[in-house]
Chain A
Amino acid sequence: MDLSFSHEEIAFRDEVRAFIRDNLPADIRAKAGRVAHFDKADVVAWHRILDARGWAASHWPREHGGPGFSPVQRYIFMEEMLRAPTPEPLSFNINMVGPVVYTFGSDAQKARFLSRIRSLDWWFCQGFSEPGAGSDLAALRTSARREGDEYIVNGQKIWTSTAHVADWMFCLVRTDAAAKKQEGISFLLIDMRTPGITVRPIITIDGAHHTNEVFLDDVRVPVANRIGAENRGWDYAKFLLGNERTGIARVGLSQGRVSRAVSLACGIEGLDGPLTDDHGFRRRVIELEIELKALEITALRIIDRQRRRNDGRPDPASSVLKLRGAETQQASAQLLLDVAGRLGAPLDADLAALGGGFAEAQGAAAIHLGARAATIYGGSSEIQKNIIAKGILGL
C-alpha cells in the first residue's frame, strides 16, 4: 500500500508545473481564478501551446495523437492545470467527441476530424439536451429524416454551451421514431455554418453568455457525418459520458478557490481582528480541506482500480467524484464570496474605479453564481445518486 507518487510521477508533475510556469501567457495568468469561464481566445491560445508540446489531448492514446500518458499521469496533468489554474483543454473536443471518433468513427472520419479536434481548429459544442430531454436524455425528439445521402434535421437543443463560438456540434438525433427510445438515436457531427441553424443566447445568473439554445430547421447533414451505425447513437453517448471520469472531481479547482479565499481573508479585519483568526472561518477551511483530501484519494483509488482492470469500462464509483466534486466546487466558491463580503458585490464593473478591495475580490460573485450549475450539468447530483443506487447498490 502506497499512496505517494513514484519518483517518475513526481518528476512528471514538476515538469508539468514548470511548463505551465514558463508558458502560460501573462494575460491569461492574470485572469486565472478570477473568471468563471475563459474566453474562446484564451482557451484556444493555451490549447495550441499544449498541443505544440503534444499534451492537448492528454488521455488519447498515442496512435491518435495523444501523449500516451498513464492514468496517474493524466490525473496529475489535469490537477496541475486546475491548480494553476489554466484554461482547460476543451472538454467537448478532448474528453467527449475525440474519443468517440477514434473509437467508433470510420477511417475517413478519423482522417478528417481527429487532428482538427485535437488542435482545436474545429471547436465542438454538445447537442444533447433538449427542452423535454434533460436528465431523461433518451427522451430527445430532434429528428433526422434520411433523404438520399443526407439527413434532414429538425428540432431544438438547449444548454448548448459555447454553441455561439463553435464550428461544429456533435448531436444526438432521433432516426427511428418507432423504436424503443434508446434504440432510435444516431450520433451526427453538424457543421455550425449549415443553413437552418439558429443560435440564441441564454444568459445565466452569473451574467455570462456561455450557453445557448440551438434551433435546427431543415438542416442538411451528410450521412458521411454520422458516427458509427444508424440508431446506435445511445451507445456512443453512454461511452462519451462515461469516458475519463476520474478528472471530474476537479479537486485542484476547489483547492485553488480555498487558497484564494484564505489569502483574501488575510487582508480583512472583522469585529475580533483578522478574519483568518475567526474560528468559524478557519473551521470551514479545514472541513473543506478534509473533504478535498478524501476526494483526491477516492479519485486515486478509482484510477488504481481502472489501471488494474484495464477494460476501459466506466466505474460507477466515479459518480462519487462527480457528486462530491461538484459540491466542493460550490462550497469553495461560496467560501470565496463569503470572505469577499460586500466587496464581492460587483458582477461586472470598472473595478479600478471602485477601489483596491473590490479588485481583490474580483470574480467572487461570478464564480459563486456559476458554480451552482456544477451539480446540474454532466448528470445532475440526483442522477449520480440514481446511478449509485441502481448500478452499485442494486436498488
Chain B
Amino acid sequence: MNLEYSTEQTLLADSVERLLSQRRATDRRAIWAACAELGLLALPFPEDMGGLAGGNVEAQIVMEAVGRHLADVPYIGCAVGPGAILGLCPETLRLRELVAAIAEGSRTACLAHEEEHARYRLAHVETRAERTASGFVLNGKKTGIATIDGVDELIVSARLSGAAGDETGIALFLVPADLPGVRMRTFPAFDGTTLAIVGLSDVALPPDALLASDKGALAALDRAEAASLSAVCGEAVGILEAMLDETVAYLKTRQQFGGPIGRFQALQHRAAEMYVALEQARSMALLAAVSVDLPDREERWRMLAAAKVQINASLRFVGQQAVQLHGGIGVTEECRVGRCFKRTAMIERAFGDTFHHLAVLDRLGGLEGRLPRTAPAQANGRAA
C-alpha cells in the first residue's frame, strides 16, 4: 500500500495547478496550447507512438486541477479517451505522426462513440461500416462528443456486423473531420462545455483508417470508458474541493444577525457533511484510478461502478448544499458555485450515471459479489 504521490506526480500537480490558476476560463485554444507546452497532451498516449504513457493517477491529477478551476478543457474527450484507445491499437507511422501532432497541439482528435439510443451501453453501436473495394463506407450518427472547436480527427466506432448491442462486430476508424459526408454540429451543454453531434453519410475511408475490430475494438472502447470514468472522478474531486472551499469562505464572510453566518451550528454541520462527502469521493476516485487496468472485466467494472455511484452522490449533495448555503447569490450566473453546480450535474451523467452503474453492480451480484445474480452477467452493460 502506498498512497503518496511520487515526486513526478507532485511536480505534475504543481505545474497543472500553476497553469490553470493563471488562465481565464474563456480562452480555450490558449489553454489547450499551454497544455501542449506542458506535455499534458502527450501524457495519455503510449510511449511507442511518442506519448508519455502517463497513468490513471496522472490523468486524475490533471482533471482535479481542471475541476478546481472549472477550466473548459476537453482533456478527457481529446486526450484521455484517444490515448486509451490508441494504446491498444497497433503502432503505425500514421498514428505516430498523429500522436506527435496532438502532443504539440497542432492537431486535435476526439472519440466519437456515444449514440442517441446507447444510454451508457458500451456495445450499443448502430452506426454501420461496410467494406468496399476501396476500403470502408460509414453511415450513422454520433452524439454527446466532448470535443474542441475545429477538431481534426475523429475516432469513430461503427459496426461491421451484427446488431446494436452485440459485443462482436464493432470496429474503430480514424476519420478526418473534413471528409465529405462528415457533418459536425457543436452545441453548448447547460454547463457551458462544448458537445458535438456528428452525422456520417456515405463517408468513404481507405483501408488503413481501420484502427481495430471485434474483440480488439471492444477492449479499446472498454479501456477508454474506464480511463475516462477514472479521469472524470478526478475532475469531480477538484470541483467538490472548490465548492467546499468557496462555501466555507462564504460562511466566514457573510454577515447576518450581527455576525458571520458560519457561527451557526446548523450551517457548520452542513459544511462538515460536505467535507465527509468530499473525503469519501476522494477515496473512491483513488479506487477508480487503481481499478482501470484490472485484468478481470467484472472486477474492474464492479470497482469503477461503485466509484461513480459514490462520486455522483457526493457531487449531488455537495453541489446542492453549496448553492443552498450561498443563498440567493448561489443561483445566479455570476456566482462560481452556480457554475460548479451545473458542471456537477453534467459529470453525474458522464461515463454512466447512477441508474446505470447501480444496474451494473446489480448484474454482477453487488460490489462484494454477495448477491445471487438475477440476470446474465455482462460487465458495463449491453442490450438486454
Contact = CB atoms under 8 A, between A and B. Distances in A.
Given A3-B290, A277-B374, A323-B276, A300 B262 contact: no
A295 B272 contact: no
B282 interface: yes
B243 to A, nearest CB: 13
Contacts of A287: 309, 358
Given A2-B2, A262-B371, A277-B374, A297 B284 contact: yes
B375 to A, nearest CB: 10
Contacts of A293: 284, 287, 306, 310, 367
Contacts of B262: 395
B114 to A, nearest CB: 25
A304 B5 CA distance: 12
A116 interface: no
Interface string B358-376: 1001100011101110100
Contact of B371 (A4, A276, A384): A276
23 contacts: A1-B3, A1-B5, A1-B290, A2-B2, A72-B1, A255-B368, A276-B371, A276-B372, A279-B362, A286-B362, A290-B310, A293-B287, A294-B283, A294-B284, A297-B284, A298-B280, A301-B282, A385-B269, A386-B272, A388-B276, A393-B244, A393-B275, A394-B252
A67 to B, nearest CB: 19
Nearest to B287: A297
Contacts of A289: 306, 361, 366-368, 370
A393 B274 CA distance: 10
B251 interface: yes
B269 A382 contact: yes
Interface in A272-296: 274, 276-277, 279, 282-283, 285-287, 289-291, 293-295
Interface string B259-289: 0001101011101110110011111101101
A185 B349 CA distance: 55
Nearest to A384: B272
Contacts of B9: 1
A393 B248 contact: yes
B317 to A, nearest CB: 13
Nearest to B265: A386
Contacts of B251: 395
B57 interface: yes
Interface string A353-395: 0000000000000000000000000000010111011101111
A72 B290 CA distance: 19
A107 B101 CA distance: 72
A90 interface: no
B272 A393 contact: yes
A395 B309 contact: no
Contacts, number: 144
A6 B5 CA distance: 18
A283 to B, nearest CB: 6
Given A4-B1, A266-B372, A388 B287 contact: no
B310 A291 contact: yes
A149 to B, nearest CB: 45
A9 interface: yes
Contact of A388 (B57, B265, B272): B272
Interface string B307-337: 0011000000000000000000000000000
B4 interface: yes
B368 to A, nearest CB: 5
Contacts of A308: 4
Nearest to B244: A393
Interface string B144-186: 0000000000000000000000000000000000000000000
Contacts of A103: none
Contacts of A393: 244, 248, 268, 271-272, 275
A40 B57 CA distance: 48
Interface string A78-113: 000000000000000000000000000000000000
Nearest to B264: A395
